[in-house]
Structure 1
């Protein structure tokens, strides 16, 4: 009887950063995810904020070691032949928890089995195993080709640098500092009308707080492929999220969050795969102070979700930011009442 194979591939993925309510940062990480039978493996692990060991910011020697471990050319780092597939995006410490798996050879093929959540040297499969995930058998030549291609240099993905257009003081300076704090490169230019197209193409997204400049630059950015934030919010964490959304060029089938709208009564969220969703409301009060409140932090299943909102939380000028570990969506709250 012929063995049943799963297909194996790799694709770029992102763990989006964030500016936290306490002033801290959640770091932005670009990495390569595993694609099994046409679907990102991370999507099958619903409530998980983690990155693979194939991160884009690794030195070449470290990336080489990670690839060779997955090819079983190095010894497994954990007892029982276990390898880390996903770890903490902030520190990669096993104590924070990691998804591990046994990788073994079967003739010319590779097999991944006994997926588990692990926080120490040893794992209890009955308690912490991902039951129903795997085992997967991969055709050896295709598996090796996908992994060794990383060592030859992967094609450059979309740029994660942004251009902020306007005076280098006040809001844009704070925005640039916040973006750099989470790992996104940010430059400020007083005017971009004379910037060569070749230079503009090095930016994945751009933002200006000047409506006149935005209208003048719309055609330029359409020509260079740089995403332009059309309606910047006057709230720093929302501006960061708007730029992150503009930087995300993943196709729709590779996104957990696919749609977000809001009225004062409810938010409407579309989710393509199970995962933890955080929904934060930001409003600007009459003194131009920003008020923030978490209105949802839960695992949502695929489909459409209608989430009731307290109108007092989103009265006046208000925005909602929805986040998963791999994506972010922003919407203004439509039809809000006058500012308090």
Structure 2
């Protein structure tokens, strides 16, 4: 079987959740992505909103079964020796569509070939095959080592901490934020401070969010509590009491994926323009949020389209950034937030 050798690895990734500009909710998903020749395989699939079968929020027994399946220690789940490579991030139902491939052993090597978009039990390569992707031949020792490492990781290290602590003065805003986070799959607790919270509870948080009214002395006290517990968390200074904006900030803080393997790597917001840098062709959504003089929120989704890799500058209508305003840039795997500079 002819196929050039490719390197195989794994890396943490997310499908970024959020409260979208139209009010819809998008679920947050943590998963392990496949790194082929140093880049996420998902990036070769352009505008695909999907996750690998190695999702962190499935029961341990199912996660182990998925790893064993990729090691070809069980029969293929689909006809023709096909395995799911990426599936629907909301329900994992094949009817929603999935990227599948034939996976097989060739001596000590593992081969992935005949990639296709599949919505039924049988794949139609003529109509739905991915041209230009694969076949990939992986050295058996490298392939097995990467996947087997998932079975031996310490549970506390392997599972992302998908819970955040919300600290602020405006209880109504915090309650709405907590409800939004829970709706997309992120746990949230509200508190005035971290005093008296047991260390084992503090270790369950991945981020702490401070409202704008929280003073520096109170912030330092919270940081000291986490330091005493030996917990490293991301600290988020909430830009404004705008729920979609705060959710986007938290998504960015919880992103554990390596910076060099993200699609959206830079966002600059200044002088009525948004500047972004992306590493591969993908869909990008840009949304402006602003507070008027009466602290009412105004939302403007000013770009939604597929862009090629590189740097891009996109202008905004002047009224969308009048006063205190913020820009959220979103791809399926990355969210960045910046205040509009002058």
TM-score, normalisation: structure 2 = 0.89
Q: Unpaired runs of 5+ in structure 2? A: none
Q: CA RMSD in A?
A: 2.5
**Structure 1 equivalent of residue 100 of structure 2:** 100
For residue 112 of structure 1, report the CA deviation from its aligned partner: 0.3
Q: In 1, are the aligned partners of 2:165 and 2:189 still within 8 Å (CA)?
A: yes
Give distance in 2, aligned partners of 1:12 and 1:132: 25
**Structure 2 equivalent of residue 213 of structure 1:** 215
**Structure 1 equivalent of residue 187 of structure 2:** 185
For residue 61 of structure 1, report the CA deviation from its aligned partner: 2.4
* Structure 2 residue 269 is matched with structure 1 residue 283: no
Give distance in 2, aligned partners of 1:193 and 1:228: 17
Give distance in 2, aligned partners of 1:284 and 1:22: 18
Give distance in 1, aligned partners of 2:203 and 2:63: 28
Give distance in 1, aligned partners of 2:213 and 2:295: 20
Structure 1 segments, 4+ long, off by >6 Å, are: none
User: Cα deviation per residue 1:146-196 (whole Å; 9 max; x = unaligned)?
Assistant: 222323345335522211113572101111111111111111111235657
* Structure 2 residue 58 is matched with structure 1 residue 61: no
* Structure 2 residue 333 is matched with structure 1 residue 331: no
Give distance in 1, aligned partners of 2:197 and 2:320: 42
* Structure 2 residue 322 is matched with structure 1 residue 315: yes
Within-5 A mapping of 1:2-21: 4-21=4-21
For residue 15 of structure 1, report the CA deviation from its aligned partner: 0.8
Aligned residues: 335
Q: In 1, are the aligned partners of 2:13 and 2:256 still within 8 Å (CA)?
A: no
Cα pair distance change 1:198/1:120, threshold 3 Å: closer
* Structure 2 residue 163 is matched with structure 1 residue 161: yes
Residues 178-187 or 158-167, more deviating = 158-167
Give distance in 1, aligned partners of 2:222 and 2:241: 24
Q: In 2, are the aligned partners of 1:161 and 1:184 still within 8 Å (CA)?
A: yes
User: Cα deviation per residue 1:71-92 (whole Å; 9 max; x = unaligned)?
Assistant: 2222222222111100000011
**Structure 2 equivalent of residue 85 of structure 1:** 85
Q: In 2, are the aligned partners of 1:167 and 1:189 still within 8 Å (CA)?
A: no
Give distance in 1, aligned partners of 2:220 and 2:250: 16
**Structure 2 equivalent of residue 75 of structure 1:** 75
TM-score, normalisation: structure 1 = 0.90
Q: Unpaired runs of 5+ in structure 1? A: 336-340
Residues 65-74 or 236-245, more deviating = 65-74
SS in 2 for 1:305: strand
Determine which of 174, 177, 189 is the counterpart of 2:176.
174
Determine which of 258, 270, 278 is the counterpart of 1:271.
278
Give distance in 2, aligned partners of 1:71 and 1:225: 34
User: Cα deviation per residue 1:251-297 (whole Å; 9 max; x = unaligned)?
Assistant: 32021111112235321001122221111111223443322222112
Q: In 2, are the aligned partners of 1:264 and 1:310 still within 8 Å (CA)?
A: no
Give distance in 2, aligned partners of 1:124 and 1:17: 32
**Structure 2 equivalent of residue 117 of structure 1:** 117
